Structure 1
């Protein structure tokens, strides 16, 4: 098939393979070009372009490797083009057959050969077996350092390229992004317009060009190793009302997104940003939306929902991890940890206020305050999200990273890169709170690794008292002093040999304390030799 009209979406051989058919001839095709495990395989078919194909045509394909069958939905891409996208979860031969209520699309067959993934392809991100952290499908830990850039995908190609350039080499490995823009964007819309009114949209007819453009942005994130946390609904488009359609239209929209996007291995689903501020949807509606995502996504991508004030019940089975907005939960590690204990799932505080200089209270954190929230979240065994709301000129033009992407102006990002390196050097898949009901403020792995963060305190020394669990005496540790703002690691000379101090602590009687600088933003790392 030709990719001329969407060259920005071309994927490299090995990550993407296609099989093309012309209607009405029905044939069994030769084996398609090999693709990688967890890559994207596309079947392209020609079919009817009259009537309303979005409503009139049902299309899917059953993929099987002989051990399991995966039913994958298809979608209409305009101009008589129909597509089915599949990401093979295992290597080997995957044979497929299409199913449709249209003769020309029904009963087509073929196969895809899934080869071993390349070194940069670790598969989709999953929740780890311990239930609190993330890892790629091949077991590589995923240390979440996320950022939010709501409407970057709907900006000009030039600005989007600038956003990708900014992300490249940054610590951010997950980006929250809206399907429907929440700020000014390019004049292209997700549905066909039926009149001149602001809400004159035909919810039964998608604009394929809009979604081709959007998926090209998802693909550009995949190319640089960034997860696309896709926000499906939000409350900030009252003028056009895309988030206010009825359940039937919502279901059709969800299924279209699943068919188009779920085969991209970097996709996560966020049912909504600030779901509780969308007044046209009930809690039952949100449950239905998330349950549909769970039941109909053949690739089982991660699922969450983001709040403004009312926390969603993240214990529900269709939630894979919690996405939380709370400006105070990560002002210390104890509060952050409570969310984790209640839900027993990974917790990402995706919105904790933003670094910036605007008057609104949610957008004027200093760089130090932003970084401090990440460190408290890390000690708690949770994760945190970033964004920026700086305005670069006096005219009030929206230059903020949060809304449109582009470039970053803040001071937090390099310090978050330092934190990410600390995370990567720590135990896999992540650290957990230690002796969490007491004033320890220590995260790590009992008997192996400890991390103590002091935040805006400025102690001149610290007693190296380790909680007793996991220790018997005689264990040896090395200690590093970390300046999290100046991004330095200073080893403390020698080793510390643990002995029982009291009923709750072990220490080295010969070296009970270490000297600190008396500055803010310090941490201590204790690693078993």
Structure 2
């Protein structure tokens, strides 16, 4: 082998190593993004088709691209499998068609646990298997406020217990939230004076405003950095003809869904909510929601969580496109035994996303006390379901957290965080131990129980558990008294030993009792020693 040949081999090896070293590395479930320059004439949103096929040898995923303004086209992808991925672009534009590239998907680090998925029929896990218990709050129009207020909201969320935010894509024109947003989702064609002297804009619904969606994406990423899921509400009825975003027409609705899913599907912390109070959007007949839901699901290659929220009438939540049930109904968590009923109907995780809000508004949906809001969470969790918070105090002019964000001033968030910690310390999700006969006792397994007394005040409690799935005779347990309002946990010194079951109940072999303070909102945690 001559010297020139050896030198050539060395140069090839060095060059190859350099190419490998420069290959972009993307964490599993993170977002790969590539930008291309393309045509700007005409209407690129409508006239340019763009997609890409991603492949790692065995797995193939097709994603839609989108126009991001100023002649820039983007394709985004969330890799779910490790290794090298290659892509090829397909487009009706010659400048875009056939472009190729590749990147390497590496292991996730830090707080990257992947998207949330349904687990064990009624509950959730991250993609990496870590348990996820949804403790959400409501911030419908928080991304349509001045930057200073949005920043305050993020700081509030950083110090709050919530790990899910329910939020609208479109701005909201409703009582206590009637400000004009900073950004609009569509391009303005012009404007005309309204009856009160205001300017009513005329929109080109076939052209999107990239700045609006870029801002929305930034805020979704801000939530991700705080470990918060973004429950994205695609449509809502709170427009009243002010902008007309609730009455785009079917063709424009479908165009909007395709554009939105192309932009957001690769965000791992996104959930889809087809609508808030779908039945109050009178411009959309009930049958169209099946079409819209399938459009969302078919354009999301990663199959993020998907639901639809009701006003007065429930939707067909058992349909296969829906992963969980999102319910508005305050009565379900006012007392024992109600919250579990919808689990038996839909056989999916149930999130009571609107159960009224802690606040001081005159409307009946906006003046729960902190005790009532906290108790709603306990009733939901004990039943094996989940509840979403909202706050409607008029703390500064018309800045109400439920709508615009800002600062929390209510008394329930701290108590909700206390419950969240108790649930996360359990060996698994909580469900009623005997759903037909005992609506106060929940269990993670036969070694871990939670009993909630709600507004009841008791002087004493005799140790007893449901027989169904209960511990064997001879097992020993300890009891902790939880004050859910004062946020204290007191471990009792007694040891309780399980006796042979009697009919449907299990008792201590000596029928021991414990003294309880005569207070409402107490709970017991009972764990095997």
Q: With the length of structure 1 as denominator, give the TM-score of the two structures.
A: 0.92
Q: Is the 8 A contact 2:432 2:438 kept in 1?
A: no
Q: Is the 8 A contact 2:228 2:269 kept in 1?
A: yes
Q: Is the 8 A contact 1:446 1:469 kept in 2?
A: no
Q: Is the 8 A contact 2:171 2:181 kept in 1?
A: no
Are residues 1:157 and 2:147 paired?
yes
Instruction: Give matches, 1:303-314, under 5 Å.
Output: 303-314=306-317
Name the CA distance, whole Å, in 1 between partners of 2:136 and 2:380.
13
Q: Is the 8 A contact 1:59 1:74 kept in 2?
A: yes
Deviation at 1:195, TM superposition (A): 2.3
Match of 2:187? 192
Name the CA distance, whole Å, in 2 between partners of 1:174 and 1:32.
34
Match of 2:337? 334
Instruction: Give matches, 1:49-198, under 5 Å.
Output: 49-128=40-119, 130-182=120-172, 183=177, 184-197=179-192, 198=200
- Cα gap change, 1:259/1:215 in structure 2, threshold over 3 Å: closer, same or farther? same
Q: Is the 8 A contact 2:336 2:439 kept in 1?
A: no
Q: Is the 8 A contact 2:426 2:444 kept in 1?
A: no
Name the CA distance, whole Å, in 1 between partners of 2:182 and 2:158.
27
Which secondary structure does the structure 1 equivalent of 2:272 belong to? Answer: strand
Name which one, 1 or 2, has greater alpha-carbon Rg: 2
Instruction: Give matches, 1:495-514, under 5 Å.
Output: 495-514=495-514
Name the CA distance, whole Å, in 1 between partners of 2:439 and 2:302.
41
Match of 2:325? 322
- Note the residue ranges of structure 2 that are not aligned, 5 or more in a row: 1-18, 193-199
- Which deviations, in whole Å up to 9, do the C-alpha atoms of 1:465-487 show, x marking residues without a partner? 11112333112211111000000
Q: How many residue pairs are counted as aligned between the two chains?
A: 497
Match of 1:473? 473
Deviation at 1:154, TM superposition (A): 1.1
Q: Is the 8 A contact 1:29 1:110 kept in 2?
A: no
Deviation at 1:186, TM superposition (A): 2.6
Q: With the length of structure 2 as denominator, give the TM-score of the two structures.
A: 0.92
Match of 2:16? none
Q: Is the 8 A contact 1:39 1:88 kept in 2?
A: yes
Name the CA distance, whole Å, in 2 between partners of 1:102 and 1:52.
13
Q: Is the 8 A contact 1:38 1:89 kept in 2?
A: yes
- Which deviations, in whole Å up to 9, do the C-alpha atoms of 1:93-113 show, x marking residues without a partner? 111111111111111111111
Which secondary structure does the structure 1 equivalent of 2:30 belong to? Answer: strand
Deviation at 1:392, TM superposition (A): 1.8
Which secondary structure does the structure 2 equivalent of 1:499 belong to? Answer: coil
- Note the residue ranges of structure 1 that are not aligned, 5 or more in a row: 1-27
Match of 2:204? 202
Which secondary structure does the structure 2 equivalent of 1:336 belong to? Answer: coil
Deviation at 1:203, TM superposition (A): 1.0
Are residues 1:357 and 2:360 paired?
yes
Name the CA distance, whole Å, in 2 between partners of 1:41 and 1:102.
22
Which secondary structure does the structure 1 equivalent of 2:419 belong to? Answer: helix
Name the CA distance, whole Å, in 1 between partners of 2:460 and 2:527.
19
Q: Is the 8 A contact 2:467 2:501 kept in 1?
A: no
Instruction: Give matches, 1:329-478, under 5 Å.
Output: 329-393=332-396, 397-428=397-428, 430-470=429-469, 471-478=471-478
Match of 1:11? none
Deviation at 1:29, TM superposition (A): 11
Name the CA distance, whole Å, in 2 between partners of 1:290 and 1:30.
42
- Which deviations, in whole Å up to 9, do the C-alpha atoms of 1:381-401 show, x marking residues without a partner? 0000001000125xxx21210
Q: Is the 8 A contact 1:377 1:384 kept in 2?
A: yes
- Which deviations, in whole Å up to 9, do the C-alpha atoms of 1:482-504 show, x marking residues without a partner? 00000001011132111124111
Name the CA distance, whole Å, in 1 between partners of 2:426 and 2:152.
32
